[in-house]
Structure 1
């Protein structure tokens, strides 16, 4: 392994850690607000960096480039179309959260329905994090890092042992970030890594194109746009992994849920100083999402031409990094990939402890007549983070035996949890008389139907379309129950504003520009422009 690359990797990683500590060392973690919401004092720059980096992990670097290599650019539908969902969240959901003064999304469900609904949803969140999100983030991060630096060969151990070592290394570092710095340390490291991400987003395509064009970037571009142009198409048909029609059905619902209701993402937006800063941060994160194909997907296009007969397609991204970048940038890229994997991991870890302590542990203690002091809640949260981190580190390496691609696996499994939660939150926001029993029935009904129709006895339908249909049916059931058995006292939203809620005055102009840019991205990667011929 190149010595310069190793020095660059270690230097960049140490600098990120040092500056994160430097910026967050004065933050005293003495209460749950400082631990979970960075004292609600983040600027829009920190919010944007946190949102962007918390959304990225090694499973996207590996999975999306693999999808581009095997199929085409239809996979960008997930990221690029999320701009629409993020704008919806910014305009309609963030004001509700700031006015209500909530810390977790289940807090809203308790106020709207009852404490039982809050506990049920918190448990669903925790299960999805512990079983699905945290272990896969660690595993795919280990796969990417090992693919770039051949860690198992350096340590003279087998591939399986190398994955174990990397999984535990990332898990321990991620857990340490949460315990020592809370969300503030995570936000600072996110923002620093964002700059590294932008550098890579520019240099990797440039070096890759130059390598493909044998020293000429323009020749590399000419090769990509003139041959194998089917890979440039982002407008998927029913035969593609991501049909274009799914953007307007299940994908839209999943994206709104993810950016507006997924706990570890929502916490990044709620950590802003006020609603205006949050909305500016979301808009800036949208810009990053529109640029992200340069980092996540274009490398896969280059690999199509460089490695036409690649057997292990999961190695597309790390193999390209090793072959085209100078040693110093290999180290930087390794640091950013390593950091982004840890970022998603520790953000999920922080949110898991938030859900457990505030929605399960504290109410349980209150039922016993015990008023738990803030310091004990913080101590319990940190202990819980250690416990679930150990569980995730033990589970993660066993994903080596999975026979399906990680990216689609994550999307399909996440549908078990995301859509029912989205449904009951949406119905709770738009109605005043639908009772708690409707929310609980909706969760059970959807989960049973989705598992049956997609996993146990699969129907011949794309899973995103199935999600949309079940969403409509589940919502109809809730409304019917609300009609037959309405709440005796209609729900009235309590105003518990922690800050004065003033929206960003330029949000509509920014939204119009972002929507135009989103359409242009799809247009560029379509048969009308790049994918023609």
Structure 2
């Protein structure tokens, strides 16, 4: 182990933790509102940082760089098309959520459909977090951390066994942070680490290009432009991991779900002071997503020219860092990667606890007729975080055996949980008479159909196209049910806002700038740009 690298890692991570603690120490957690929503008081920079770094985690850093290395730049579409999705969510989704004063996205489903729909969706969210989200960020964090410091070699231990130790350590640290600090601590540390990731995003490509160019980063760029140019192409073909056509079908729907429905993402925005602050924060996150290509995709592109034999392609990012970076940068990037794992893990834990405490435990107490106190809810919320943490760290090591690449595994599994929920929310937004039974049947039909067509009777169609087709069919079925069994009293949105819902006047100007930047990057990494050579 390089002790200089490890010392820098400890110093940077300790500095971030202490600064975050200094910022939040005067905000005592005495209520579930302060634990889950920071009393709806976060400013736009904290909102933007929380959104961005809850999204940019080791699953994306490891997974996207792996796909660029094994395939091409088409995988960057996941991040770039997020910009369009976030702008749509900012304009149409968030005003509805803030007007109704919800704490969780299933709260909207209760208002639009009924309590049982809320319970079903809450359960789906919880299963998704325990089975997919939390284990995946812990696993990729462990892979990256082990790759950067070669801990399995230092400990003279089997690779998989070393992953177990790192995963349990990360889970323990993350759980303590979430339990003690709440969502405000998560938002503050996300913002600090968000700044750090962009510094690393500039430094790593510079040193990697310099290494490739034998000391001259200009020569490194020329090497990338001169050979293996097929990796530069962001316009994916049918044989690529992300075909270009999927950007307009399942990927668009997945991104709209993620930024507009996923509880651990939406919860960051619901903690904002008002709608204008929320929309400003989303714009900050959009600019961050564009810049994040430097960390999520460019290292994998450079690695194509430097790394030729990897036993595990998921290790491409840490392998590149160790090969090309000076010791202090290795320690710095290790701290960023470790923090990236914990911030998403913490946000997921906090949201899982929010869903269980407010949507399952509290209603159960009310049904029993028990007296409910803030202390009682806080106690259960923290206990549930510990339980979820234990489940996640137990599942995470087994992702090692996933086939066809880690990132494809994560996105494919997401389909079981994401689009069914998004479908019934969209139908709820756009209709007034579709009944609760349609929502329940839609969830069941979508989930079962996707499961059968992905496992038992696999079809030769990209899973993103399949998701889009099932989305359309499920919407039609729900509309038919709504025509046959319409609500006797059409749904009417009730205002119950806790914050101002006056929109930000400058949002449209920034939206145009962001969309133009998104399109320009697609053109740059295409046959019309540098991929033509």
Shift of 1:363: 0.8
C-alpha distance in structure 2 between counterparts of 1:464 and 1:160, whole Å = 31
2:426 is paired with a residue of what secondary structure? helix
C-alpha distance in structure 2 between counterparts of 1:58 and 1:155, whole Å = 23
Q: Deviation digits for residues 409-429 of structure 1, max 9, x if unmatched?
A: 111111011111001111111
| Map of 1:267 onto structure 2 | 267
| Map of 1:146 onto structure 2 | 146
| Map of 1:388 onto structure 2 | 388
| Map of 1:289 onto structure 2 | 289
C-alpha distance in structure 2 between counterparts of 1:392 and 1:50, whole Å = 22
| Map of 1:5 onto structure 2 | 5
2:530 is paired with a residue of what secondary structure? coil
Correspondence 1:358-377 to 2 at 5 A: 358-377=358-377
| Map of 2:31 onto structure 1 | 31
| Map of 1:194 onto structure 2 | 194
Shift of 1:154: 2.2
C-alpha distance in structure 1 between counterparts of 2:128 and 2:85, whole Å = 21
Q: Deviation digits for residues 456-491 of structure 1, max 9, x if unmatched?
A: 111111110110010001001111111111111111
2:398 equivalent to 1:423: no
C-alpha distance in structure 2 between counterparts of 1:427 and 1:259, whole Å = 17
1:306 is paired with a residue of what secondary structure? coil
Q: Which runs of 5+ in 2 are unaligned?
A: none
Shift of 1:342: 0.7
Return 105-114 or 29-38, whichever deviates more.
29-38
CA contact (8 A) 2:403 2:409 kept: no
Instruction: Please tell me the root mean square deviation across aligned C-alpha atoms, in Å.
Output: 1.0
C-alpha distance in structure 1 between counterparts of 2:99 and 2:266, whole Å = 15
| Map of 2:220 onto structure 1 | 220
TM-score (norm 2): 0.99
C-alpha distance in structure 1 between counterparts of 2:174 and 2:462, whole Å = 35
C-alpha distance in structure 2 between counterparts of 1:503 and 1:151, whole Å = 50
Tell me how many residue pairs correspond in the alignment.
533
Return 282-291 or 370-379, whichever deviates more.
370-379
Q: Deviation digits for residues 111-140 of structure 1, max 9, x if unmatched?
A: 111000000000000001111111121111
Correspondence 1:327-406 to 2 at 5 A: 327-406=327-406
2:305 is paired with a residue of what secondary structure? helix
| Map of 1:257 onto structure 2 | 257
Q: Deviation digits for residues 405-455 of structure 1, max 9, x if unmatched?
A: 221111111101111100111111111111100000000010111111122
Shift of 1:97: 0.8
Correspondence 1:48-447 to 2 at 5 A: 48-447=48-447
C-alpha distance in structure 2 between counterparts of 1:367 and 1:7, whole Å = 53
Correspondence 1:445-464 to 2 at 5 A: 445-464=445-464
Q: Deviation digits for residues 224-259 of structure 1, max 9, x if unmatched?
A: 112111100000111111001100001000000000
| Map of 2:479 onto structure 1 | 479
Q: Deviation digits for residues 147-196 of structure 1, max 9, x if unmatched?
A: 11011222333222211111011101110111101000100110110111
Shift of 1:307: 1.7
C-alpha distance in structure 1 between counterparts of 2:523 and 2:166, whole Å = 40
Shift of 1:22: 1.0
CA contact (8 A) 2:51 2:269 kept: yes
Return 300-309 or 217-226, whichever deviates more.
300-309
2:304 is paired with a residue of what secondary structure? helix
CA contact (8 A) 2:47 2:278 kept: yes
TM-score (norm 1): 0.99
Shift of 1:6: 1.0
C-alpha distance in structure 1 between counterparts of 2:412 and 2:528, whole Å = 31
Shift of 1:223: 0.7
C-alpha distance in structure 1 between counterparts of 2:310 and 2:421, whole Å = 40
CA contact (8 A) 2:307 2:320 kept: no
2:416 is paired with a residue of what secondary structure? helix
| Map of 1:525 onto structure 2 | 525
Shift of 1:372: 1.4
1:204 is paired with a residue of what secondary structure? helix
CA contact (8 A) 2:117 2:436 kept: yes
1:531 is paired with a residue of what secondary structure? helix
Return 157-166 or 142-151, whichever deviates more.
157-166
Q: Which runs of 5+ in 1 are unaligned?
A: none
Q: Deviation digits for residues 475-525 of structure 1, max 9, x if unmatched?
A: 011111111111111111110010121111100000000000000010000
Q: Deviation digits for residues 260-302 of structure 1, max 9, x if unmatched?
A: 1000000111111111111011011101111111111111111
C-alpha distance in structure 2 between counterparts of 1:131 and 1:487, whole Å = 35
